[in-house]
Amino acid sequence: MNAIDAIKENIKHDPENLRYTQQDYNPIFMAHPDARILLVGQAPGLKTQLKNDVFRDRSGDRLRAWLGVDEDTFYNSHLFAVLPMDFYFPGSKKTGDLPPRKGFAQKWHPQLLACMPYIQLIILIGQYAQKYYLKDTIKPTLTQTVRAYQSYTPKYFPIVHPSPLNQRWLSKNPFFEHDVIPLLQEMVSKIINA
């Protein structure tokens, strides 16, 4: 058993996750020691949890378009890793899914990151990932953080979540697809084609 598989087993048997393990849910993440780009998002939705896979939905289609990669490239674990801020569906409320559980990323991300020494770029998808990784350097709003992406590169690249629910944000902020996405695609291309 390699280190990542051992961590996965520890996650499944952690008392905080037993209710998921008892429902036969697996922790949802994608990691490999050779991965070069890390995508950090929110917690998986129920459909993702049931499919037992990351970004196999419309959000994933949009994300791959933003990255400028096809499905085969995206799911090549030697290139891309995916660590949500929680590896399990946290439940839902009236207006959508609950946020990732507090303390989850703090407990498991450092262990998994230590197993992926070749990560060159961490793409922070949405406010939960940005708050955790950017800490004191985060701007007051998601829009301001995304607009200031160049102040976080080359290590981090903050983006909005590719959910269809964010279409309104995208319409109000055309700078994202006109200015930000081409530079994101350029960075991704350089890393995966090196």
**pLDDT digit string, tens, across residues 48-81:** 898 888 998 899 999 999 999 999 999 999 999 9
pLDDT per residue over 143-167, tens digit each? 999 999 999 999 999 999 999 989 9
* DSSP structure string for 130-172: HHHHHGGG--SSHHHHHHTGGGTTTTEEEE----GGGHHHHHH
State the total domains in the chain. Answer: 1
pLDDT for position 101: 96
The span from the CA of 80 to the CA of 38, in Å, is 6
Condensed to tens digits (0 to 9), the pLDDT of residues 7-46 reads 999 999 999 999 999 999 999 999 999 999 999 999 998 8
CATH number of domain containing 16: 3.40.470.10
Full domain range(s) for residue 142: 3-192
pLDDT score for 150: 97
- Helix 181-192 vs helix 58-67: crossing angle, to nearest 10: 80
The percentage of the chain sitting over the pLDDT mark of 90, rounded to a whole number, equals 88
Distance CA 46, CA 28 (A): 11
Query: pLDDT tens for residues 95-145?
Result: 778 899 999 999 999 999 999 999 999 999 999 999 999 999 999 999 999
Q: Does the pTM exceed 0.85?
A: yes
DSSP state of 126: S
DSSP letter assigned to residue 118? T
For residues 165 and 174, give the distance between their C-alpha atoms in angstroms, rounded to a whole number.
16
pLDDT of res. 91: 86
